[in-house]
Amino acid sequence: MKALRQRQYGCLDSLELSEVKKPIPAKHQVLIKVHAVSINDWDWALLHGSPFIPNRLMVGLFKPSIIVGSDIAGRIEAVGSHVSRFKPGDEVYGDLSGCGFGGFAEFVCAPEDALIRKPPSMSFEQAAAIPQAGMLALQGIRAKHSLPPDQKVLINGAGGGVGSIAVQLLKPQGVEVTGVDSAEKLALMRCWGFDQVIDYRAVNFTRNGQRYDLIIDVKTEQSPKDYERALSPGGVYATVGGQLTKLLRIALSGLRIQRERDKKLRVIGLQANGDLAYFNELFESGHFKPVLDKLYDFTESDVRQAFQRFGVAAHNGKIVVRLSHL
């Protein structure tokens, strides 16, 4: 089968499609024919071997030895002897980050508990766009236990997968949602439902005098003190992405701020696949639809372009690579 391999860290030109052995499912696993896979921050980090610890300890000190790709959608080809939830032919999707990745390949094996059935009306491309971004968006929102109507929420780095999902979950609650990203994305973000949009190059949202009841941050580029200043009394800052050193600063400062003030700074740890059934319900009821950026095919040139677009944060919503043409 074909799979995406990388000859060296940090060089997208070294991405290539290679022939590798088709996997065989263990007794609690299923074999999935992959129809679509999306790109996440974790894939980008693994391809660059950064941070050195823990990523290079996991995938190889000097040369990557892993097939990246966590959020997949496809059709089950075979099941292990102890599998009870699925049968060949079932259409499924899920996040494989906790069970070895491997999504950028024609076939991948995964434990049955890492997957959920895909609704018939949901495309494989839409399904592959949900798992990590959807769970992080939902966990970020739930970081503040109560969001009464008229409260203010800000999402930093809102033009990607997390922001495009979070705004759809927030607007039915009657809250005011502000999105921060590059100027090129703001018009489309208004179409997604954002009440206010901010160009991060022109305005620093932590210094414009506004206060928010909940901040969900995909980037985590400023100091804990800056984020604290932008919170209303009783407000919560929840980071769902960023460099490891900055996440550690948020975690340590959050302990101090929570003790001293009526504000909270939290680092959200991904709970993979926990509420995918909820997203299925929202999708089937017409209250949620994944936002897809440009679709790419499973060719070396297309995959390199897809990762390049992701790396410069030019995407709107989720970047998805489709394998259904193979």
Q: Is 278 a member of any domain?
A: no
Confidence band (pLDDT; 50, 70, 90) for 243? confident
Q: Is 275 a member of any domain?
A: no
191 and 146, same structural domain?
yes
Confidence band (pLDDT; 50, 70, 90) for 66? confident
How far is residue 194's CA from residue 189's CA, in Å, rounded to a whole number? 6
- As a whole number, mean pLDDT of residues 80-85 equals 96
- As a whole number, mean pLDDT of residues 52-58 equals 50
151 and 126, same structural domain?
no
Q: Is the dihedral of CA 241, 242, 248, 251 positive or negative?
A: negative
Count of structural domains within the chain: 2
83 and 70, same structural domain?
yes
169 and 43, same structural domain?
no
Q: Tell me which residue range forms the domain holding 62.
A: 2-130+291-322
Percent above pLDDT 70 for the chain: 91
Q: Is 315 a member of any domain?
A: yes
Identify which of 175, 246, 251, 187 has the alpha carbon closest to the alpha carbon of residue 214.
175
120 and 33, same structural domain?
yes
Q: Is 301 a member of any domain?
A: yes
141 and 84, same structural domain?
no
314 and 244, same structural domain?
no
Confidence band (pLDDT; 50, 70, 90) for 259? low
192 and 209, same structural domain?
yes
143 and 123, same structural domain?
no
Residues 90-118 pLDDT 10s: 999 999 999 989 999 999 999 999 999 99
CATH code of 121's domain: 3.90.180.10
Confidence band (pLDDT; 50, 70, 90) for 258? low
Model pLDDT, residue 299: 95
198 phi/psi in degrees, rounded to 5: -130, 130
Identify which of 317, 231, 254 has the alpha carbon closest to the alpha carbon of residue 38.
317
247 and 259, same structural domain?
yes
CATH code of 203's domain: 3.40.50.720
257 and 140, same structural domain?
yes
